[in-house]
Amino acid sequence: MMAKKRLFEFVEKRTNVVLDPQVLTIGFARRSTGYKRSTLIFSDLHRLLEVNKKGKIQMIFAGKAHPKDVEGKKLIKEIYDYANKLRGQIEIVYLENYDMTMAGMLTSGVDVWLNTPIPPMEASGTSGMKAAHNAVVNFSVLDGWWMEGCIEGVTGWSIGPHPKELVTEDEKREIELRDLYSKLEYLIVPTYYEQREAWVALMKNSIARIAHYFQTHWVMRRYATEAYTI
CB crowding 105-123: b at 16 or more within 10 Å, else e: bbbbbbbbbbbbbbbeebe
Alpha-carbon span 23 to 217, nearest angstrom: 35
Q: Domain 2-227 adopts which CATH fold?
A: Rossmann fold (3.40.50)
Question: For residue 80, is it left (φ>0), alpha (ψ between -120 and 50) or beta?
Answer: alpha
Q: What was the pLDDT predicted at 206? A: 95
State the pTM of this model: 0.94
Lay out the sheet containing 24-29: strands in order across.
91-95, 57-62, 24-29, 112-115, 137-141, 156-159
Neighbour count for residue 64 (Cβ, 10 Å): 17
Instruction: Give me the residue spans of the domains in the chain.
Output: 2-227
Cis, peptide link before residue 161, omega less than 30° from 0: no
Using DSSP, state whether 115 is helix, strand or coil.
strand
Q: What was the pLDDT predicted at 230? A: 58
Neighbour count for residue 88 (Cβ, 10 Å): 6
Q: What was the pLDDT predicted at 183? A: 98
Alpha-carbon span 212 to 199, nearest angstrom: 19
What tens-digit pLDDT sequence spans the chain (230 residues)?
999 999 999 999 999 999 999 999 999 999 999 999 999 999 999 999 999 999 999 999 999 999 999 999 999 999 999 999 999 999 999 999 999 999 999 999 999 999 999 999 988 888 999 999 999 999 999 999 999 999 999 999 999 999 889 999 999 999 999 999 999 999 999 999 999 999 999 999 999 999 888 888 888 888 888 887 65
